Structure formats: structure tokens, C-alpha cells
Structure 1
Amino acid sequence: MNFRLCLLATTALVSVSTAALAADPGEYEPTIPEAPLMEAPPVASRIDLIFEIGVGGNVSPEYEGSDKYSVSPSPIVGFGYLRIPGLFDIGSTGPEEGGLSIGPAFEYTGERNADDFDALDGLNDVDATYEVGISVGYEWEFAEIYGEARYAFGGAEGVVGELGANAIYRPTPQLVLKAGPFATLASEDYTETYFGVTAAESANTGFRLDAYDPKGGFKSVGVSGSARYEFRQDWFLNADASYSKLVGDAADSPIVKAGDENQFTFGLGVSKRFTLDLF
């Protein structure tokens, strides 16, 4: 019996004894101490949202098809899990790998000012393009496959996508290495914006670039690799590199002929994962 119960019992016993001495025996009614109230256990918190944000630098062609490169800041945005009570759960809350994953997909292409590049002088400018869509993947212990479909709007409109597969190697619990082939696709509207040349634009270039009307389809094929290291809990160092070759109507564009169909990228950044209880 704990100290509180002992104290209550002693108090009750004194009260009963006092009442028994002062009152008539026929009127005696013992006082029964109340049991202490038990506190309700705390409600366990639920994970409703897991996401990741960060910043890095990216070395990439000045525009698709360019043979010159530049360094630019690059945001890192990742999605891990979303729970809407009573509706759905998307993603995974645990550290275990594997299985089906579904999440949002984003991409951003900065504006292309023709006056900034000698090879594009005479062409129309292209505003920044935003892409929003869905990503689906399936992961095994040592491999994964994935696909993305995104709708583009802004400077270019249309549908773009990516298909790929990776081999996965985890030398330590904190380090994940991936590498594998990929292919990108784009609809006709999107391809026309970045690889097409109208008759008026061709004239503006002094016919240096021929008029060209590309169709949609496969845009590039290549290989990519990435390394991800968790140097502190929920803090990550991310590195990635890729080589791609423009194909199809994109590769036949006068814009690419004046540049290079071989494209390289390299990125390095730091990101942090956040876990929230929203509901």
C-alpha cells in the first residue's frame, strides 16, 4: 500500500473512532474513504506527415541541348508519408525499405532567355516551367523500379514523364547507394517549346537555325547514380550525377545540333527530414 492510501486509511480510522465515541451506538454510520482517482494514460501521438526539405548546388547544361554548363542553386523537396484520418495513408513511416511507394512529383525549369546564349540568338524566350504529378515505385532489398508522370505549365505545357530502375547497395545503415538506367518522355506541346523552331524564329536567326516542328515521344535515355548519407539523425548529405543522350525528335532539333546531344549533371546538397502530428 502506498503512502497516500496509508494516510487516507489513517484519517478515516480516526474519524470513525471519534464518531463512535461521540454518537449513540444505534446511530453509528462508518465513513468509507474514497479510492484515489487514476489518471488516464496519455494518448499516443500519431505520425501524419513526413517530408524533407533542403538546398544544394547543381551543375547542368545551361539549357537542354547546350554544350555549355553552369552552376545554380537547387531546392531539395521530398515526400515520405501522409495520413488523412478516415481517408487514406500514402507512403511509409518506418525505416524499413521495400514495397510499393506512391507520392507527389515536382520539377522546375528556369526561364530561357535567348539573348543570354549566342546559339539561341533570334529565338523566342521561354518562361519558367513548373511540373506537378505523381511518382510510383516498387523497391526490393537490392533493386527498385520507378516511374513519374507530370503535367507541365508556365513556359511550356504538356505531359512529361520518366521511367527507370536502380540497383541498391547499403554498406552501412546510414549510407545508401543507387545506380541504374532511365528514360524520359515528353508530349508534342512540350517538345515544340524547347526544341522547335518556327519559320519566323528561323528568319530571326538569319536562317542559321532551320525551321523545325518536332513531335512527342522519348526525349532522352541515360544512366544516373546517387549517394545518400545520414550524418545526424534526420539530416542527410545528398549527391547525384547523371549522363543522358537526347534521342528522337529532340536530338534532331537544330537547337541541339548547334549544341550537344550528350548531357551531364552533378548535384550536391543537404536536407532535413521532418515528422509531424497534425490530427
Structure 2
Amino acid sequence: MKTLTYALAACAALGSGSQLAAQDIEELPGAEETVFDDNWLSVGVGVVYSPSYNGSDDYVFSPIPVVQGRLGPVGISPRARGVTFDFVNDQGEGTTLSAGLAVGLNRNRAAQIEDAVVLSYGELDTAIEVGPSVGVRFPELLNPYDSLSLSVDTVFDVAGAHDGIVVSPTMTYFTPVSRGAAVSLSFGAAYVDDDYANYYYSVPGGGPLPAFQADGGWERVGVNVLAGIDLNGNLADGGLAIIVMGGYSRMLGDAKRSPFTSIRGDADQWMGALGIGYTF
């Protein structure tokens, strides 16, 4: 369940994964020994139904291969468009910290553009985004098994696509509802610089849409709700699990004002996801 929890949340419109930790599963009632006590790995696949580009009102299906785990001192977690490597991988009791590297691909307007007018401006290059990721987790807020996690990813394009910076803060509340099921609620946002905004939201003159110069600022804010169900009724022993998720985000600033959104798209962005994973 953990893998798909991270992965499908990572595919939400906000582009931020739910910040769960292995302790969330280890601390379930009766979880004396769990698959997460030592090295472990989860693999999974999901399908997300989401806007064809950030700000689009056309929706497409996209597959999501994902991986998560802990190998020695390094924790691996899915994110919006890739993974993070947690080199602190704090497994202690009480408040825990994470710090490492986020790596991902940004294919916004690089494929699956359904709007012919937007497509006439051409497909964009895929950005490779790399940067630091830090977080903190507070357990046992409302019951002995829940947690609140806060994180910030700050990534830079190293592939020469948008050449910009994206800062993504996320807050996630997680709680089990039984030994075999859990839910999480995530709030997140994205702040982008001028280079990023100009690449994705500026509109050159001479085309079917009015010219527009986009500047950086808050790109979007939103919320995701996720539910996971272990197929044998025990989240702590790994195996197969399914997950469903829904999310909403709102485009902000010049990302909202851009003709790609305001004329050809919609500032309201919705998504749904379904997946299955295996943990061992």
C-alpha cells in the first residue's frame, strides 16, 4: 500500500507525493514484525486521469510505473515526476527528519496535447529536475497511529528546457482506519520562477492566441484524498494492495491568466487515479 500511496499522490495535479513513512505502517495495532523492519522494496503500476497539460480542460489517461523502498541507509520514495533519495532516513521514534535529493522528469506540454490551438505552438522539451528535498514527520496527533508530515522539494532544470526553479511544499495527514486500510489527506502548492513561468505560460505573438508574458509566482495550490486497501487485510506484511485517489488543484497567478489556461483551458484542475502494487 505504501508504494501506491506515494506514487498516485505523486501523480496528482499538485505534483507532490503524500509524505508517509514506514513508521506509519510499523505502528499499526499488533504490528510486532513488519516487512518494513529491514531492507524492503515496493513496485507498482497505476493509471491517472488528469489534464493533458497544466491548465488544460482536456483530460487523458497516463500510466505510472513506480518504485519505493529502503536499501541500507537510503530511503527511496516516489514524487510527482520521479523519486527522492532520503540519505537521513530517520527511523527513530517520535518526530523524524528526512533530507536528500529529488530527481524527476517534467513532461508538461511535451506530449498528449489534446487542444489543437495549444498544439499549434509546438510541443516543449522534457525537463530533468534535480534538487534538495527536506521534511519532518510528527506522529500520534489524534490517535496512536496517525501522523502529520511536512516537506519541501526545491528542484532545478538541468536539461536546458525551462532552465527554472520549482519549490513544492506539501502537508499530509495520514491515519489507518483499520489494520487493512488507511487514508491520507494532502495539501500542496508549487512556486515557480520567471524562467519556468515564461517557458510554460508565455504566449508568443503572431498566433491564434493573444500574446502574453508570464512571470514567476505561485503556480497552483490543491488537495488530494487517498484511500489504500491491503488485499489480505494486513498493511504490515506487504504483498498486494490497491489504492484509489482523487484530487483538485487551482491554477494561480500568471499560470491562471495565461491564454493557454484562461482561453483554451480551465483554472480548475481535477484528477483521479487507480493502482495496484506489491511490497516485499
Question: Which residue number in structure 2 is paired with residue 59 of structure 1?
Answer: 49
Query: C-alpha offsets along residues 198-245 of structure 1, whole Å, 9 cap, x if unaligned?
Result: 2xxx31x2xx31222211121001111222334353234333322110
1:170 aligns with 2:176: yes
CA distance in 2, matches of 1:145, 1:225: 16
Could you say which residue in structure 1 is the equivalent of 2:153?
Answer: 148
Aligned-residue offset at 1:97:
7.8
Structure 2 vs 1, CA of residues 92 and 271 (structure 1 numbering), >3 Å: closer, same or farther? Answer: farther
Q: Describe the shift of the 1:112–1:89 C-alpha distance in structure 2 as closer, same or farther (beyond 3 A).
A: closer
Paired amino acid for 2:249? S
Preserved contact between residue 52 and residue 80 of structure 1 (Cα < 8 Å): no
Partner of 1:123: 121
8 Å contact 2:58–2:114 — kept in the other structure?
A: no
Q: Cα distance 1:180–1:72, how it changes in 2: closer, same or farther (>3 A)?
A: closer
Alignment pair present for 1:246 and 2:236: no
* Cα drift, residue 246 of structure 1: 0.5
Correspondences of 1:39-50 after superposition (within 5 Å): 50=40
RMSD: 2.9
**8 Å CA contact 2:99, 2:134 repeated in 1:** yes
For the 8 Å contact 2:87–2:99, the answer to whether it is kept is: no
Aligned to 2:216: 216
Q: Which has the higher helix share?
A: 1
Work out the percentage of aligned pairs sharing the same amino acid.
Answer: 26
2:238 to 234, 246, 253: 234
Q: 1:175 to 1:134 in 2, by over 3 A?
A: farther
Alignment CA distance shift 1:173-1:113 (3 Å) = closer
C-alpha contact (below 8 Å) 1:175/1:229 kept by paired residues: yes
Q: Contact 2:51–2:57 (CA<8 Å) still a contact in 1?
A: yes
1:176/1:229 contact within 8 Å kept: yes
Unmatched runs of 5 consecutive residues or more in structure 1? 1-46, 275-279
Report SS of the residue matched to 1:210: coil
Distance 1:117 1:196 in 2: 17
Q: Which has the larger radius of gyration?
A: 1
Residue in 2 that maps onto 1:225: 225
Distance 1:124 1:93, change over 3 A: same
Give deviations 1:167-206, integer Å, cap 9, x for gaps: 22212244331113221111221111111112xxx31x2x
Q: Are the structure 2 counterparts of residues 158 and 81 from structure 1 closer, same or farther at C-alpha, using a change threshold of 3 Å?
A: farther
8 A Cα contact 1:81 1:92, kept in partner: no
Verify the 8 A CA contact 1:49 1:83 in the aligned structure 2: no
Figure out how many residues of one structure are paired with residues of the other and give that number. Answer: 218
1:168 partner amino acid? F
Q: Show CA shifts across 1:121-152 (max 9, x none).
A: 43132022332333322222242222212223
Q: Tell me, what secondary structure is at the counterpart of 2:221? A: strand
Q: TM-score scaled to structure 1, two decimals?
A: 0.67
**Helix, strand or coil at the partner of 1:267:** strand
Aligned counterpart for 1:135 among listed residues 133, 136, 149: 133
Q: Which stretch shifts more, 241-250 or 230-239?
A: 230-239
Does 2:106 correspond to 1:100?
A: no
Q: Which amino acid aligns with 1:214?
A: A
